[in-house]
Structure 1
Amino acid sequence: MTLVSSPSHSTGATWPRIGQHHFAHLRAVAEGLSIQESALRYLGIDHGHQAITAHRQVVDRLRGLARRRGLSAWRLVGLTIRVGTGDVRPSLEDFIAERDLDGWTEAEVAQLYEEAFPADARAERRRRLRDRQLALLKDLQSLAAEKPSPEDRLEGWFDPVTTSRLAQAGLLLLRDLQQRIQGGGHWWRGLPAVGRVKAHRLAQYLNLLLPESEPLAPCPFQNPETARALASPDAGGALVQAGLFSGRPVTHGAPGTAVLTGARSDAEVIEAWVAARAGTAPTAKSYRREALRLLLWLTHERGKGFADVQVEDCLAYMSFLEHLPPAWISRRHSTVLGEGWAPFRGPLSLASRRQAVVVLGSFFGWMVNVGYLPSRNPWMLINRRTGDDAQQSMLDSRAFTPEAWSAMLLHLQAQPPDPSRARMLFILGFVEATGLRASELVGATMGALRQHRGRWVLQVHGKGARNRLVAVPGQAREALQDYLLDRGLGPLGQQPPETPLLARLGDPAQAIGYQALYQTMKRWVREAILGSGLTPAEKDVALRASPHWLRHTFGTRALERRAPLEVVQRQLGHADPRTTMRYAHAQLERLQQEMDVAFGEDRPTQDDATP
């Protein structure tokens, strides 16, 4: 994040507004703090070149003001005046007290003082210049420093790029951003190119501008019993007992329609649907969450239940998901049982909103099919298409670039051998060549590894509780063989069937969980990327990596190396080839090549085309 914009008269860019924090920055620099450290502390800037640019712009702005005011010392603004520790002399009073010279005459004290601290003309001049510099900054601060107001527009306090990104999310004033941050949770969701780290810096910088925050409105979901109810397996029934909604009985179906479920309330039908259709625990959690959120909204905002939902309610709920009120978003650092809980952790991305609508459409269709609702599904009567996210770059990928991948391998190979290094080398080599999901990797055992016609395959229990066979090519086999030897388990094929592929560091016979895999990968990736020669932009992308990036890396590399699409699809376990196509960049490269032939430098000229 950059604080200020570069002045450009041709483009009409404005000068930055000057606040108290700018003078705190300049005083810190004058006192010896580096520009980069001071900019990080007072300006919210972490990139060195941006810090230098911001510092120079503020200095130029204040020098210009000092010249217009006729202040002869204007050149002292931003001037580096080094006063060494040896240049500092104690005051005469401190000298007398330290030496116990109260009974001595003034002349005697003066003589002793000069003998102990002989005058240094250059040091004295530096001290006088420093005093004049700090006094000048104080005078300029009284003249130029503005106090930011919550009603100020973001322009001037933030750089144009950050301002544009925030404006795309409807944040135009400092108050808008303050309320968004105070909403808590993952408040940065939906902001283009803003992740957790950048969001933290935005919040810190805004706190410098507006240190006095207004109290938050009370959250309507702070009842601990409500939070406990949502955390229970029978969340719907528990919420009824907590009094969050009535769970009143409904009239089932149209006359003569058979009811195929025993559910007698909206809360009960949610659990019946989850039990009937959710095949795995993560799916059950997702289904229950979306249905309960809708029921909470219907109860609090519309005074309705599922049987009363009309087309207008569906459209209103879609609009609600797009613009979540702050009261519906959990406060920062709140837990499920903590104060400030709300149904949403933060603003929803377009993908999350799309998923919610798909789940609810399926849920209402199921309720119609079992006769819980009349034979109509209002979600089928509206345009549920949300389109694409205009802020999403089609070139963005969650696959490691070849440069980032090389940086990680070089870092690992340069480290002394130990169990953690061996495990990380196995993870990179094995998953890059197999494309396993993180859950499939941590759940795999040696008993699932078999030979088929001289080659190795691994049976995994994948997404949707479906089994599939995954080819284990040479790179993956070698990575596993090295890892087994490092664990002291002997050559491949000599391990007990229950031996996990991925094990704990202290116990090669015990599997690790996803959280341990996540933390291991984040630690090694961070060390490798921060110490690499990648550009700041490349580092910023790579540092966001999670274990799932390894699966994307496999898909991207396999298609780049011309593996057939249907083969990659089967290896990944995708039901739809369009999902696999997300990893393909070959079509884009072919498009670029063909267009260069037609319209680029190599296109045939008119003379070439003439027979």
Structure 2
Amino acid sequence: MMGVVENSTRRGRPSGRAKVWREAGLRLHDLSFLRAVVQGLAPAVAAQRYLPELVADARVVSAYLRRAVQVAGDILNGVGEQTAALAVTGITRSQVQSTDCESARAAQSKVDVPSLDEFAEEIGAEDFSEREILELYQERYGDQVAAAPATPPASQAVSADAVLRALGIVQSRGVVLPKPTDPCRLWFSEGLNRRLREQGIEQLQALVAFINRHGRHWYRHVAGVGQDRARRLAEWLVQHEPYLELKIAPRCRWDIERSELARTGPAGLLPASGMAQFEPGGGFSLRGSGANAAGAADDTQAIKAWLDTLSFKSPHTRTAYARDAQRLLYWAHERSKSLSTLTVSDAADHARFLVDPPAHWLCALPTRRQDDDWRPMRGALSDASAARALAAIGHLYGFLVETGYLVANPFSRIHRASSRGKGPQIDTTRSFRASQLQMLVEVVQAMSAGPSRRRARALLMLMGSTGVRIGELGGTWGDVIATTVDLEEGGQARDGHCIRVLGKGGKERMLPLQPSVLQALQEHLDDRKALEKQGLLPTCEPERTPLISVVAKPVGPDLANAAGGLSAAGIHRVIKALCERAAKNCEDPRVAAEFREASAHWMRHTFAHAVLRASGGDLPVTQQLLGHASLSTTGIYLKADMGQRFRAVLAMPLMFDRERQDPR
């Protein structure tokens, strides 16, 4: 097994000189490297092409080549192939010796050329990127390096065919193939592993998941990893997909031209040109014969008019409704139908489709709509989610009928996606226990001191003490309002702060803030101000400054707005990352599984249970804090506390005292 261990360098520096170590066996990329050298490719060029992330000068590559030769020879001698061992060591030794002689002659005839690391130390390149240092190095010493004599062909030393056959024996007897559970340290340099560990990446499967989650520019989330190294790592993972049994998403691959992706739409669903209209031509249609109040001439215009009527609803609800309608359009398109030609039978089929979609509708990896591998669904909807989607579709068709665009609503009787449940119901048991909350606190405390930890702390404290929905966290500091309240403690008024949030249906509510929560938010604000001073975030007026912001740049547009405010997707990702760390630290598999299933909404359910206990079961107060439209919805939390039910039943007197039971 070959590996590279970097000398410690300052952040942003290329690795320069490195120490090479080995354990028993060779990696598949080592054999590719050796084959390229045998076939006449310069070792430094072969290393750049085949080794996953070795960034070093020619002397490091030469040392790496010597080690690979030694291990290959040991493997061949160990299986009784002494002739093949001599062939391998002979041809690669000539390569190494030629390279060493050329380096010596160049050193005698020219000014001594420093290594890349020495050059970086010389210019004090703390603020230079890896690419910039390489360009400066090439500009100063490129002519001297280029003037070195070319390496003589390998065929002058020994038959290349004999060596390739020998390497084939090595591959069949001694090659080590990557496995998804392999630690990254077995394959990559210590410097890279240190940076990956900072992101919680310990195994190859975790690295693949991280790349697929963040896309082609995943390296922006890992300090010290530049574009070139990220590209080579991704290409190495693609080459080893058959052994890892893990796929790199097309949007993360560098070997696919983006122009080619742009020419193709989601296979099997929609043409690249977009949504074609299937207007009826004398067949069945529910379209009204006259003018309609929506002023719509086709389905697209009708849906836009419907979306305009949703302006009174929350942005989260509008997004969900639009997604449900678009999914219906895709589904109808696949059946060569339009909204106007769907029947009651189609409506029932669509309900069944939501809980059991076909494979070509699903995408296992997170993708963006503009990516080639995007699909409309990540998996089958739960009964509750499907029922909510059908409610949105029913709302759409009700509007189309009311405005005269359609004459009937085929979805009017379709309210459930399956017979497994009775429709949407709040699952209030999906909440954190006190011990789990403490584990999340410990996860945050274990984070490196800095903006990320302070934001995580502020976010957990805010959600845990207010019960806000994730879609209600897009407010600004203008929503934090100072107030004076009478707590009936000695009859004295007390100064405090509230946060104003806009909930479902555009309803506004005021939520009290604990002083410690306000302080945590203020510390997070100070970190944002530091980014503003660096020019990484736009300067905002205090009342327009996002309450929860990004803590580093760049961040994708799906995770933050133009002002740097963290989006609902960004907040979801922060909470999921904390839960994943808690799961890794958890010894109980059942609790670990709960953490991995948890989401930001669990904090809302946790708050609801906590405030009911703190208020002595005061439903009206809890209803106002949660923003429920109905008191019966809030009452579900009382019904869901199974622990209280058990305690009540176990506290009841027994009908028979066991000690006094008839022995018969």
Q: TM-score w.r.t. structure 1 length?
A: 0.52
Structure 2 residue 325 is the aligned partner of structure 1 residue 291: yes
**Matching residue of 2:505:** 464
The whole-number CA distance in structure 2 between the counterparts of 1:96 and 1:331 is 46
The whole-number CA distance in structure 1 between the counterparts of 2:245 and 2:552 is 44
Q: Helix, strand or coil: the match of 2:483? A: strand
1:48-63 alignment runs, 5 A limit: none
Structure 2 residue 432 is the aligned partner of structure 1 residue 400: yes
**Which structure 1 residue ranges, 5 or more long, are not aligned?**
1-30, 33-84, 101-183, 186-202, 209-217, 227-238, 490-494
1:465-504 alignment runs, 5 A limit: 465-477=506-518, 479-480=520-521, 496-504=542-550
In structure 1, which of residues 449, 452, 456 is the aligned counterpart of residue 481 of structure 2? 449
Alignment deviations for residues 554-583 of structure 1 (CA, whole Å, 9 cap, x no partner): 123222433522212211212233443454
**Matching residue of 2:308:** 275
**CA, structure 1 residues 277+247, in 2 after alignment: closer, same or farther (shift >3 Å)?**
farther
Q: Helix, strand or coil: the match of 1:575? A: coil
Shift of residue 538, structure 1, vs aligned partner:
0.8
CA contact (8 A) 1:501 1:511 kept: no
The whole-number CA distance in structure 1 between the counterparts of 2:80 and 2:338 is 79
CA contact (8 A) 2:344 2:410 kept: yes
In structure 1, which of residues 316, 322, 339 is the aligned counterpart of residue 355 of structure 2? 322
CA contact (8 A) 1:293 1:343 kept: yes
In structure 1, which of residues 220, 223, 226 is the aligned counterpart of residue 271 of structure 2? 223
Alignment deviations for residues 315-347 of structure 1 (CA, whole Å, 9 cap, x no partner): 233233333233444586765344465544433
Shift of residue 349, structure 1, vs aligned partner:
2.5
Shift of residue 483, structure 1, vs aligned partner:
5.4
Structure 2 residue 636 is the aligned partner of structure 1 residue 596: no
Alignment deviations for residues 262-303 of structure 1 (CA, whole Å, 9 cap, x no partner): 1122332122111223545544443333334434444543x6
In structure 2, which of residues 598, 614, 617 is the aligned counterpart of residue 545 of structure 1? 598
User: What number of residue pairs does the alignment pair up?
Assistant: 388
The whole-number CA distance in structure 2 between the counterparts of 1:516 and 1:341 is 19
In structure 1, which of residues 328, 338, 359 is the aligned counterpart of residue 392 of structure 2? 359
Shift of residue 224, structure 1, vs aligned partner:
1.7
Alignment deviations for residues 12-33 of structure 1 (CA, whole Å, 9 cap, x no partner): xxxxxxxxxxxxxxxxxxx99x
1:1-400 alignment runs, 5 A limit: 93=82, 219-221=267-269, 223-226=271-274, 239=275, 243=276, 245-246=278-279, 253=288, 259-278=292-311, 279-298=313-332, 300-301=334-335, 304-329=337-362, 336-339=369-372, 342-374=375-407, 376-381=408-413, 384=416, 386-389=418-421, 397-400=429-432
CA contact (8 A) 2:477 2:542 kept: no
**CA, structure 1 residues 318+588, in 2 after alignment: closer, same or farther (shift >3 Å)?**
same
**CA, structure 1 residues 474+320, in 2 after alignment: closer, same or farther (shift >3 Å)?**
same
**CA, structure 1 residues 204+398, in 2 after alignment: closer, same or farther (shift >3 Å)?**
farther
**CA, structure 1 residues 262+488, in 2 after alignment: closer, same or farther (shift >3 Å)?**
closer
Structure 2 residue 587 is the aligned partner of structure 1 residue 530: no
**CA, structure 1 residues 474+272, in 2 after alignment: closer, same or farther (shift >3 Å)?**
same
Structure 2 residue 612 is the aligned partner of structure 1 residue 559: yes
Report the identity percentage. Answer: 26
**Matching residue of 1:434:** 466
The whole-number CA distance in structure 1 between the counterparts of 2:318 and 2:647 is 46
**CA, structure 1 residues 425+563, in 2 after alignment: closer, same or farther (shift >3 Å)?**
farther
Q: Helix, strand or coil: the match of 2:411? A: helix
The whole-number CA distance in structure 1 between the counterparts of 2:366 and 2:468 is 33
CA contact (8 A) 1:434 1:476 kept: no
The whole-number CA distance in structure 1 between the counterparts of 2:342 and 2:409 is 9
The whole-number CA distance in structure 1 between the counterparts of 2:474 and 2:343 is 45
CA contact (8 A) 2:476 2:546 kept: yes
The whole-number CA distance in structure 1 between the counterparts of 2:332 and 2:528 is 56
CA contact (8 A) 1:407 1:529 kept: no
The whole-number CA distance in structure 1 between the counterparts of 2:353 and 2:659 is 62
Query: Which is further off, 351-360 or 458-467?
Result: 458-467
Q: Helix, strand or coil: the match of 1:449? A: strand
**Which structure 2 residue ranges, 5 or more long, are not aligned?**
1-23, 26-73, 90-211, 214-240, 247-265, 486-493, 531-540, 554-561
Alignment deviations for residues 204-242 of structure 1 (CA, whole Å, 9 cap, x no partner): 99969xxxxxxxxx943252222xxxxxxxxxxxx2xxx
CA contact (8 A) 1:274 1:288 kept: yes
Q: What letter corresponds to residue 547 of structure 2 in structure 1?
A: L
The whole-number CA distance in structure 2 between the counterparts of 1:305 and 1:523 is 41
CA contact (8 A) 1:559 1:586 kept: no
Q: Helix, strand or coil: the match of 1:277? A: coil
Shift of residue 470, structure 1, vs aligned partner:
1.0
Alignment deviations for residues 155-190 of structure 1 (CA, whole Å, 9 cap, x no partner): xxxxxxxxxxxxxxxxxxxxxxxxxxxxx99xxxxx
Q: Helix, strand or coil: the match of 2:354? A: helix
Shift of residue 371, structure 1, vs aligned partner:
1.8
CA contact (8 A) 2:576 2:599 kept: yes
**CA, structure 1 residues 337+225, in 2 after alignment: closer, same or farther (shift >3 Å)?**
farther
Query: Which is further off, 393-402 or 312-321?
Result: 393-402
**CA, structure 1 residues 354+204, in 2 after alignment: closer, same or farther (shift >3 Å)?**
farther
**CA, structure 1 residues 251+96, in 2 after alignment: closer, same or farther (shift >3 Å)?**
closer
In structure 1, which of residues 567, 572, 583 is the aligned counterpart of residue 626 of structure 2? 572
Q: What letter corresponds to residue 473 of structure 1 in structure 2?
A: Q
CA contact (8 A) 1:271 1:288 kept: no
CA contact (8 A) 2:354 2:417 kept: no
**CA, structure 1 residues 277+266, in 2 after alignment: closer, same or farther (shift >3 Å)?**
same
**Matching residue of 1:200:** none
Shift of residue 377, structure 1, vs aligned partner:
2.9
**CA, structure 1 residues 511+595, in 2 after alignment: closer, same or farther (shift >3 Å)?**
same
The whole-number CA distance in structure 1 between the counterparts of 2:340 and 2:528 is 59
Q: What letter corresponds to residue 385 of structure 2 in structure 1?
A: S
Q: What letter corresponds to residue 441 of structure 1 in structure 2?
A: L
